[in-house]
Structure 1
Amino acid sequence: MPVPPADPPFQDPALDPQHAWAYRPASPLPGAPDGPLSGLSFSVKDLFGVPGWPQYAGTRAPLPDFGASVLVRRLLDLGASAVGKTQLHEIALGITGMNAFGGTAHPADPARIPGGSSSGAAVSAALGQVDFALGTDTGGSIRVPAAWCGVVGYKPTKGHAAWSTKGVLPLSWTCDHAGPLARDLATVVRVHEALSGDRVQSRSWSGVRVGLWLPQNWVTAEVAQAVLSFAGRLEARGALTTPVELPEMLGAYTPIVLSEAAQVHAAALALSDPGFTPFTLGLLRQGQALSEDAVREAHALRAEYRAALDDLWSRVDVVLAPAVPTPPPLRGQEEVALPEGPVLLRRAVLRLSAPFSLLGVPALALPSSLPFVGVQLVAPRGADEPLLGLGLGLDI
């Protein structure tokens, strides 16, 4: 079991004040010349195995070895150059970006969080340090930091052949996805086309049936207004919007993710001092304590939610929803004030984003009219290219 050094070789804080980077080699890993992604640079979330590069996953705990990332190798073969590894929420089990080495600050306001778990990925993209960033999304970990950092984030359909999670330290094999973040959708589309071999064409919104999922008590008034403004943009392009409802799915999501995460890190958890920070260790212990019946019930509930979402697709073509409940919170903030009252930050965020990772459908986070508050567009399983094409139709 590889054990990370006590302190990773961070760059001079003057060069990385946001603490976005976990590892920066002296020179990038060069991409193949003349590939379709030649000239593009990318960062790698520190869950992906890269030969010759260390792996910390934001923790001081020993990590299991899952080998080299197929996706990173593929991007290099297509011509993109890998600049280094980015920070993340410890072992990707969280949405703030905090970890055993301190965590990452927001690209525009160091007092606030960038979101997680792909925190460093979002910051590296937002600051233009790379052309695109490679992240993972188990419950919103691409879309949440994209929304709070003002960039685009794409979570593909679960198991999409172009976006392999092989060679990535897992959090939950049921919910894990790999995907990109970038300052513009055109770059995301370029990368997706190169990886998949499929063409993404701009699509008209005329006649598109949009289900507006906007649980008013779950978001601040300003976020609700930003989502409604985005809906207005779609309607101006000919879309037909109608309200839809979805349940809170954390009763299925949480047991599945925590039980699987505990299995991934079972060897470390067997040690007298596993090395995780207290909050992460507490979540992993919760996962260990779950009974087989509890996990089985969570999977049965997931199947019910999946059937309900499949039924929804008979009435709408795409869902528009908030990606986050509030603007970026302050570092250390544990609760957010919502119309229903104070809510734990983790719950407030995950109940908006986790359903679409839990159910494996493609989701695209896009900036809204409110700075650092994004929306998400969600499509049926396998409708990745149509979803990206609708995004191109917005000229974002």
Structure 2
Amino acid sequence: MNVYITEETIEGAEDGPLAGRTVAVKDNISTENVRTTCGSAMLEDYVPPYDATVVSRLKEAGATIVGKTNMDEFGMGTTTETSAFGPTENPVAEGRVPGGSSGGSAAAVAAGEADLALGSDTGGSIRCPAAFCGVVGIKPTYGLVSRYGLVAYANSLEQIGPIGNTVEDAAALLDVISGPDERDSTTRDEGADSNYAAAADGDVDGLTVGIPTELVEGADEGVLDVFWDAIDDLESQGATTREVSLESVEYAVQAYYVIAMSEASSNLARFDGVRYGHSGGYDGNWNEVFGRAREEGFGPEVKRRVLLGTYALSAGYHDKYYKKAQDARALVEQDFDEAFAETDVLASPTMPVPPMELGESLSDPLKMYLADANTVPVNLANLPAISVPAGETDRLPVGLQLVGPAFEEETIVRAASALE
């Protein structure tokens, strides 16, 4: 199944809220003296000299880290097939992808190889594999969880978050890893005193659930059947629903990929075989050494995104692409604000399709990008979201996504727990 890139046990404190629990960690999160590859040949032998803040907090909470999980290379993918170490198979759907880019983390939990896992979510990379593997995944509000020690892909979009078998388990892990960090200036004090696990009480009486038409239209018929059954379940427990519109999400996927690829082209510039990463070991001028190192170290999807991002930031095209993408991002944020003026949470299918067959998307990158249509708007608006199992279609898992206002993780945890 190829879940782990590195299997190495790291013991935590003898007591704490996670004592006796095993946790798998996505391989783009730094672990002191344990290899951290980002699923890339570029970092195949990289061993960080320090722990990410979230890893330090896991240790302090008594968790036992059981390994570093496979992922799409540098987080760039929706299927965990772009890893330099081979694909991960979905443990609950033979021959299917586990989702990505945190596919190894979701697969580890779904297969019972770890009680909990950490992933990172730049455009759906926790929620997608959670939905495809039939587990729970939380993408926190931007700034709730420290990104110190996370190998950067797109700084303004990504967040580390928890994966678990139940809403309460995932929320308990969020309790441990959340909170301000002096080493990450983007973290905030909001939510520091919250008890997310305690919020998983299933009480949705009086909750208003908005259903954005744009995030429902076009989804697979079987996925929609499961989604509407789940909405009926929420209504039977006292929630009310209403239709809302997020008109600007029509542009969200395009805006997201311009922004994410642009930030990636900047962040990955450090991996040149001189400062960091694989060295081709060639004689000759610096440009040749630089080019050979990146040619050998990066896979096709990473090269594609770096090239497109560099193009979007280049002279003469910055305003045409990157600036317009940022303008579209502002519109997405505005639409969410308006929707939350009349609702408590928003609900949609997490993914518009069930898990794809292995190899199905590799030859069609655009198809892979469009599969992120329901998840990327959340990252553009820096909001919290959770994917919770909602049922199956043709014996394939379907996830329901709940989105809340900024730092309202307790609300989405409460709503999600009502569906378990």
TM-score, structure 2 as length reference: 0.83
Is the Cα contact below 8 Å between 2:162 and 2:171 reproduced in 1?
A: no
Shift of residue 243 of structure 1?
1.8
Q: Partner residue of 2:159?
A: 177
Matches within 5 A, 1:47-66: 47-62=28-43
Going from structure 1 to structure 2, the CA distance change for 1:318 and 1:353 (only over 3 Å counts) comes to: same
Structure 2: runs of 5+ lacking an equivalent: 179-192, 273-286
Q: Partner residue of 2:172?
A: 190
Is the Cα contact below 8 Å between 2:33 and 2:49 reproduced in 1?
A: no
Q: Partner residue of 1:276?
A: 298
Going from structure 1 to structure 2, the CA distance change for 1:285 and 1:181 (only over 3 Å counts) comes to: same
Are 1:391 and 2:373 counterparts? no
Residue identity in the other structure for 2:223: V
Shift of residue 177 of structure 1?
0.6
Deviations 1:303-345 (A, max 9, x none): 1211121111111110011111111101111299xxxxx9943
Distance 2:49 2:222 in 1: 42
Q: Partner residue of 1:112?
A: 96
Instruction: Tell me the SS of whatever aligns to 1:222.
Output: helix
Aligned-pair identity in percent equals 31
Q: Partner residue of 1:4?
A: none
Is the Cα contact below 8 Å between 2:57 and 2:176 reproduced in 1?
A: no
Q: Partner residue of 2:148?
A: 166
Going from structure 1 to structure 2, the CA distance change for 1:142 and 1:219 (only over 3 Å counts) comes to: same
Q: Partner residue of 2:6?
A: 23
Q: Partner residue of 2:65?
A: 82
Is the Cα contact below 8 Å between 2:203 and 2:415 reproduced in 1?
A: yes
Instruction: Tell me the SS of whatever aligns to 2:264.
Output: helix
Q: Partner residue of 2:227?
A: 227
Instruction: Tell me the SS of whatever aligns to 1:296.
Output: helix
Larger CA deviation: 126-135 vs 208-217: 208-217
Is the Cα contact below 8 Å between 1:66 and 1:169 reproduced in 2?
A: no
Shift of residue 217 of structure 1?
4.3
Shift of residue 68 of structure 1?
2.8
Q: Partner residue of 2:307?
A: 285
Going from structure 1 to structure 2, the CA distance change for 1:295 and 1:245 (only over 3 Å counts) comes to: same
Residue identity in the other structure for 2:350: A
Q: Partner residue of 1:123?
A: 107
Is the Cα contact below 8 Å between 1:43 and 1:82 reproduced in 2?
A: yes
Structure 1: runs of 5+ lacking an equivalent: 1-17, 337-341
Distance 2:362 2:219 in 1: 13
Going from structure 1 to structure 2, the CA distance change for 1:220 and 1:82 (only over 3 Å counts) comes to: same
Q: Partner residue of 1:353?
A: 375
TM-score, structure 1 as length reference: 0.88
Count of residue pairs the alignment pairs up? 369
Shift of residue 386 of structure 1?
2.1
Distance 1:286 1:302 in 2: 19
Q: CA RMSD in A?
A: 2.1
Larger CA deviation: 225-234 vs 237-246: 237-246
Q: Partner residue of 1:325?
A: 352
Going from structure 1 to structure 2, the CA distance change for 1:131 and 1:358 (only over 3 Å counts) comes to: same
Shift of residue 225 of structure 1?
0.9
Distance 2:157 2:347 in 1: 21
Residue identity in the other structure for 1:140: G
Residue identity in the other structure for 1:287: G
Are 1:211 and 2:213 counterparts? no
Residue identity in the other structure for 1:166: Y
Instruction: Tell me the SS of whatever aligns to 2:41.
Output: coil
Residue identity in the other structure for 1:112: R
1:136 counterpart (120, 140, 144): 120
Is the Cα contact below 8 Å between 1:313 and 1:380 reproduced in 2?
A: yes
Residue identity in the other structure for 1:58: G
Residue identity in the other structure for 1:301: A
Distance 1:135 1:112 in 2: 20
Shift of residue 56 of structure 1?
1.1
Is the Cα contact below 8 Å between 1:223 and 1:327 reproduced in 2?
A: yes
Is the Cα contact below 8 Å between 1:152 and 1:185 reproduced in 2?
A: yes
Instruction: Tell me the SS of whatever aligns to 2:373.
Output: helix
